[in-house]
Amino acid sequence: MQVKGDRLWSDLMTLAQIGAGVAGGNNRMALTDADRDAKALFAHWCREAGLTVTVDAMGNTFGRMEGLDPSLPPVFAGSHLDTQESGGRFDGPLGVLAALEAVRAIKDAGITPRRAIEVVNWTNEEGCRFSPGLMGSAVFAGTLPLEQAHAVTDRAGRTVGAELDRLGWKGAAPMGGRPVDAYFELHIEQGPLLEQAGVTIGAVTQSCHSAFTDAICHGETSHIQSTPMPQRRNALWGAARLIDAIERAGYAHAPDGTASSVVIDAWPNNRIVLPSRAMFSYGVMHLEEAGVQSMISAIDAAAEAIAAETGLRFEIALRRIRKPFHFAEELVALTETVAHDLGHSVMRMRTRPGHDAFNMVALCPTMLIFVPCRDGLSHNEAEWCAPEHCTAGAAVLAEAVLRRANR
Ligand SMILES: [Zn+2]
């Protein structure tokens, strides 16, 4: 069996023409017209490869290659085709299109595996338009109720359910609830470790400890020109100071830990009024639980000190704290063996970003495989995965999926 790297590369570059960004990458947010077109092209390529395509009520799309024993649970391989607003060509598409290429290579070699293989495109992995991310796989895995997912709105008030209807991608296939033998996801690392180590394949063992937090700084509206300085309660100033403290907490815990603020919104947000409210979010992540706790404590202490000095008030709500997800040791070992057999360097590592694979851990043995991306850059239009790394990742994915499917 031989994956065709040029066929995979051609698919990646063709897909990138849909929802092209402004700087060579992609802006193909979930359930936009561009996302619909990407879903349609993927389904077309699946049918062209002889796969049976089904779509569930989240728009998750499955291309099935039947196995010798259709009664056995299938092996899944996939990822997502939606991107961030400032997205690249590889974050997500590589995992979907490499899985498709894997199935083509298996077919080209005249092999019918014992178990069926299904290539999956999960809906709304990125979570930038509709929060939370990893949405389609969460509903499939039963951790997020379908009605709740359908009711999620974007900033314009449109719901996931209505957009699925509008785009014609609310399918009739059963929503999860069926046994899966194993799930494989190939992804760019979105960090610099593989590149720095000069290693081609990352066998991901687990994720990290993380927390996401929403913060509001409360002040008082007043005139920007006439209010004496000691009387000002400018919420934006408080937010700015805490945002600085959050970034510093990240630096103090590097390289094992990271912390940064994202998203800011002030009210009333005009040039003549000091804002009474500034809202922002921040995320912290660390290899160890104690590291996350230490950063949260440092940020809380900074908020207290800033409040005492400025007369502002902080409201800090921990939105989510997440322990690591662990991938199946048997599949980590399988990935290492396959990489060695194919002559690729491999190392065990952890993932910092979240992936649909996290949701699949609850359902079946799950594996996340990384390949390097240039400078570790992702969620940026310049994101780049070298053709030889795409090919190597696809080859390892194909061989691992085939061995698992023949089990
Ligand atoms: Zn991704």
Q: Which residues are close to ligand 1, an ion, with C-beta < 5 A?
A: 91-92
**d(CA 133, ligand 1 centre) in Å:** 10
Is the same domain home to 254 and 332?
A: no
DSSP secondary structure string for all residues of 261-291: EEEEEEES--TTEE-SEEEEEEEEEESSHHH
Q: What is the CATH number of the domain that holds 20?
A: 3.40.630.10
**d(CA 354, ligand 1 centre) in Å:** 8
- Residue 367's pLDDT is what? 98
**d(CA 79, ligand 1 centre) in Å:** 7
Number of domains in the chain: 2
Is the same domain home to 83 and 198?
A: yes
64: its two tokens: 């099935």
- Residue 319's pLDDT is what? 83
The residue from 322, 357, 380 where one domain ends is 322
* Residue 219 structural domain: 209-322
Mean pLDDT of the chain: 97
Mean pLDDT, residues 252-273 taken together: 96
The residue from 287, 303, 322 where one domain ends is 322
Is the same domain home to 146 and 245?
A: no
Which pLDDT tens digit goes with each residue over 217-230?
999 999 999 999 99
Is the same domain home to 185 and 175?
A: yes
Which pLDDT tens digit goes with each residue over 7-65?
999 999 999 999 999 999 999 999 999 999 999 999 999 999 999 999 999 999 999 99
**d(CA 81, ligand 1 centre) in Å:** 8
Q: Residue 137's closest CA among 392, 368, 377?
A: 368
Helix (H, G, I), strand (E, B) or coil at 370: strand
**d(CA 93, ligand 1 centre) in Å:** 8
**pLDDT at residue 340 is higher than 90:** yes
234: its two tokens: 């400018």
Q: Find out whether 75 and 370 touch, Cβ atoms under 8 Å.
A: no
Is the same domain home to 127 and 9?
A: yes
> Which residues face 284 on adjacent strands?
211, 259
**d(CA 88, ligand 1 centre) in Å:** 10
Is the same domain home to 110 and 256?
A: no
Is the same domain home to 158 and 82?
A: yes
The residue from 292, 322, 352 where one domain ends is 322
Is the same domain home to 30 and 98?
A: yes
Percent of the chain with pLDDT over 90: 99
**d(CA 285, ligand 1 centre) in Å:** 18
Burial of 108 (0-12, 13-18, 19+ CB in 10 A): middle
Q: What is the CATH number of the domain that holds 317?
A: 3.30.70.360
Mean pLDDT, residues 306-314 taken together: 98
- Residue 336's pLDDT is what? 98
Is the same domain home to 288 and 356?
A: no
- The pTM for the full model equals 0.93
**d(CA 40, ligand 1 centre) in Å:** 19
- Residue 111's pLDDT is what? 98
Is the same domain home to 258 and 334?
A: no
Centre a 10 Å sphere on the Cβ of residue 403 and count the other Cβ atoms it contains: 15
Is the same domain home to 140 and 63?
A: yes
Residue 310: band (very low, low, confident or very high) from pLDDT cuts 50, 70, 90: very high
Is the same domain home to 276 and 389?
A: no
